[in-house]
Structure 1
């Protein structure tokens, strides 16, 4: 048993990367998605800068408290779209995200959905709940 000659090895890592990049074709540039909870900060459409409280791991009890408070702005972030969750819609939103955030989701085939929640504060100590959806 000798060593394989270099020609007998598979493709180099650089060659594989080059093939992957070439397969992308002219599909355009790769777009980075907004991830406020992961990034630890968020600037809203009004230019207000929000900072994440803690490390981004929130107990469900705190998420519930923030969802029930009409004074707290709640944002759902998916891809590069941030949309407000109005107080009238928060009960159904809570029911949708709770299984994912508590680890009790029963996934159907092909369900790659996940949620991550973070509490943010601005300089005036206002609260913002951001729920990131990924799939």
Structure 2
């Protein structure tokens, strides 16, 4: 994704969107590939991955990726569920959206990536 710089002379900022791009290389050099292609990930599968402490969960927003720790996942699920199940009631000016994708590495480890956009 590309966003405009804050001034006319500032370059646009480009940030990673693994779910859109279909792949992701993490900070350890591990290459992850999206499972399922262009299909939207069912909420039931998102819940399963969130409940599994062996699955790493990353939240992407702008150019930052943050781990969602196991003890944070219940509240994270409550935050993203309305958006991923199309049941959100939007307030005026709310342009928030989420996109989730399941990734696997060459050793068949799972990674859940949730991209937040506005």
- Taking structure 1 as the reference length, the TM-score comes to 0.80
CA RMSD of aligned residues (A): 0.8
**CA shift for structure 1 position 122:** 0.2
The reply to whether residue 88 of structure 1 matches residue 71 of structure 2 is yes
Residue 32 (structure 2) aligned to one of 20, 25, 50? 50
The reply to whether residue 59 of structure 1 matches residue 38 of structure 2 is no
Partner SS for 2:60 = strand
Q: Following superposition of structure 1 onto structure 2, how do residues 1-135 of structure 1 map, counting pairs within 5 Å?
A: 25-26=8-9, 28-56=10-38, 57-135=40-118
Residue deviations 1:69-109 (CA, integer Å, cap 9, x gap): 00000000000100000000000000000000000000011
Q: Which residue of 1 aligns with 2:3?
A: none
**CA shift for structure 1 position 25:** 2.1
User: What is the alpha-carbon distance in structure 2 between the residues aligned to residue 120 and residue 25 of structure 1?
Assistant: 37
User: What is the alpha-carbon distance in structure 2 between the residues aligned to residue 66 and residue 126 of structure 1?
Assistant: 11
Whose Rg is larger? 1
Comparing both structures, which one devotes a greater share of its residues to strand?
2
Comparing both structures, which one devotes a greater share of its residues to helix?
1
**CA shift for structure 1 position 31:** 1.2
User: What is the alpha-carbon distance in structure 2 between the residues aligned to residue 42 and residue 108 of structure 1?
Assistant: 33
- Taking structure 2 as the reference length, the TM-score comes to 0.92
Runs of 4+ in 1 over 6 A off after TM superposition: none
**CA shift for structure 1 position 33:** 1.7
Task: Show structure 2 runs of 5+ residues with no match.
Answer: 1-6
